[in-house]
């Protein structure tokens, strides 16, 4: 059995509204092994970012965890005190946010922002923390780190600001880094640089990483394992190469077929029909069944938890053999070269 640094079990996050309740995360379950990179993928609004915020205890009000467990090194973070959670947050689990310009403090020098966590969590004095900030700026590839430590965020490009965010995330040598679409606001060239940097740092430091993204090509390049999320629920998990070779959920297959292949001349792109469900009024049965091309009568009622398959894989589809057969008959290749 692999050594899991994080286990999310049946996590449920709700947002109460005046006349309804949004089930932002609806029974999500997945694991992250020590030193592993896991991709958490799905359409916008499916609950990916809310899951990361729940892990860190940073849910926006009035969202709240109403069920499940978040086990970090066997310790349930849903049951610890706010003070204990603050000791974990930043020190052992850190996060890289999607837009660094809003995540960084615009009136603090970047060196001070990097030095803050070592001073709070590791007891560094001001000089030692400043030296640590310069060391980290050098590690993430920012030139002239001694001078740039005294600059403000607006003096950096988007790619350099994201490197500063990575330096902050690494400042206390965490066991787990949560990446909330860290390359979305960057152009393709800078995306590749940031992804390569994160991969190199993971290899060098042995840190576990969760990549939240809607880009399957990013997952193909950076991750060993994959969790596919839809309507707040995990629908499929497994090793990336196995899931991409033979997806066992129609939603995963639909996502793969929606990736453009620039080697083919196409009049239109493949897409998943319909729209994601209203999280305040989820359909009965499998949440994906209104959009599924393989739907059967038994898909429209009951519950659909993850079913364990061979080789550590799991799917929430009871007709996963039909999906796998369709994938074999019409294979899809997802990579950075063909998928963008």
Span 84-101, pLDDT tens digits: 999 999 899 999 988 877
- Rounded Cα distance between 138 and 235, Å, is 40
- Rounded Cα distance between 207 and 300, Å, is 41
Q: What is the mean pLDDT of the chain?
A: 91
- Rounded Cα distance between 201 and 192, Å, is 14
Please tell me the predicted confidence (pLDDT) of residue 334.
74
Question: Strand 208-213 relative to strand 37-41: parallel, antiparallel, unpaired?
Answer: parallel
**Tokens (6 digits) for 90:** 């930043």
Residue 268 has pLDDT above 80, yes or no: no
What are φ and ψ of residue 15, in 5° steps?
Answer: -125, 105
HSE-CB of 70 using CA atoms within 13 angstroms: 21
Residue 301 has pLDDT above 60, yes or no: yes
70 secondary structure, DSSP code: E
Residue 305 has pLDDT above 70, yes or no: yes
Q: What percent of the chain has pLDDT over 70?
A: 95
Please tell me the predicted confidence (pLDDT) of residue 283.
93
Q: Tally Cβ neighbours within 10 Å of residue 68.
A: 18
- Rounded Cα distance between 139 and 19, Å, is 50
Q: What is the pLDDT of residues 169-213, one digit of tens each?
A: 999 999 999 999 888 777 888 888 888 888 888 888 899 999 998
Q: Tally Cβ neighbours within 10 Å of residue 193.
A: 16
Please tell me the predicted confidence (pLDDT) of residue 2.
57
**Tokens (6 digits) for 171:** 């400042």
């Amino acid at each position: 059995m692999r050594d899991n640094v994080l286990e999310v079990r049946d996590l449920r996050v709700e947002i109460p509204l005046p006349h309804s309740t949004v089930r932002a995360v609806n029974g999500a379950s997945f694991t992250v092994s020590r030193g592993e990179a896991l991709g958490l993928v799905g359409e916008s609004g499916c609950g990916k970012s809310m899951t990361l915020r729940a892990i860190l205890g940073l849910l926006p009000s009035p969202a709240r965890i109403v069920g499940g467990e978040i086990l970090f090194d066997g310790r349930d973070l849903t049951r610890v005190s706010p003070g204990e959670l603050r000791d974990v947050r930043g020190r052992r689990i850190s996060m890289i946010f999607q837009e660094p310009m809003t995540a960084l403090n615009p009136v603090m020098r970047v060196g001070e922002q990097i030095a803050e966590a070592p001073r709070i969590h590791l007891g560094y004095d001001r000089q030692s923390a400043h030296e640590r900030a310069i060391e980290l700026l050098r590690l993430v590839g920012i030139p002239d780190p001694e001078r740039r430590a005294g600059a403000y965020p607006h003096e950096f490009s988007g790619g350099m600001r994201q490197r500063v965010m990575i330096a902050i995330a690494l400042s206390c040598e965490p066991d787990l880094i949560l990446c909330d679409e860290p390359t979305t606001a960057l152009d393709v060239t800078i995306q590749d640089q940031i992804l390569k940097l994160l991969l190199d740092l993971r290899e060098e430091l042995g840190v576990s990483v969760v990549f939240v993204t809607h880009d399957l090509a990013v997952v193909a390049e950076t991750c060993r394992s994959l969790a596919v999320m839809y309507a707040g629920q995990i629908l499929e998990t497994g090793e990336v190469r196995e899931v991409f070779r033979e997806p066992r959920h129609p939603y995963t297959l639909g996502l793969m077929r929606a990736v453009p292949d620039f080697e083919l001349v196409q009049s239109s792109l493949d897409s998943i029909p319909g729209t994601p469900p209203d999280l305040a009024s989820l359909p009965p049965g499998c949440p994906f069944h209104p959009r599924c091309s393989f739907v059967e009568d038994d898909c429209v009622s009951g519950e659909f938890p993850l079913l364990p398959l061979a080789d550590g894989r799991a799917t929430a589809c009871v007709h996963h053999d039909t999906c796998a057969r369709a994938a074999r008959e019409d294979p899809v290749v997802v990579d950075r070269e063909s998928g963008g």
